[in-house]
Amino acid sequence: MSIIWTIIIGLIAGALAKFIMPGKDPGGIIITILIGIAGSVIFYFLGKFIGIYEQGETAGFIGATIGAIILLAIYRIFKKKSAA
């Protein structure tokens, strides 16, 4: 059940990140789920680094959304550099 919940949170967080940062981004529903899950992982490690999370805590929905926004911003930076 944990994997299904992670996929659902990833989908919602990825979709919210794409809604907050509109523009030309990759993919459909699978990429959106992966962006949300990857955003959660990114924010988890960022949160551990700055002391927000303890060992064994998860990033949660807000953290996953913030991480997905960070991931989309990084993607757009590299996309601009490769297009130029």
* CA 29/CA 11 separation, integer angstroms: 7
* Residue listed under structure tokens 């949160």: 47
Which structural domain, as residue segments, surrounds residue 50? 2-83
* CA 55/CA 59 separation, integer angstroms: 11
Q: What is the domain count for the chain?
A: 1
Q: Please indicate, yes or no, whether the overall pTM of this predicted structure exceeds 0.85.
A: no
More confident residue, 21 or 53: 21
Of 13, 17, 23, 18, nearest to 80 by C-alpha is 23
Residues contacting 16, CB < 8 A, separation 6+: 65, 68
* CA 24/CA 62 separation, integer angstroms: 23
**Residue 57 — pLDDT band, cuts 50, 70, 90?**
low
Per-residue model confidence (pLDDT) at position 81: 76
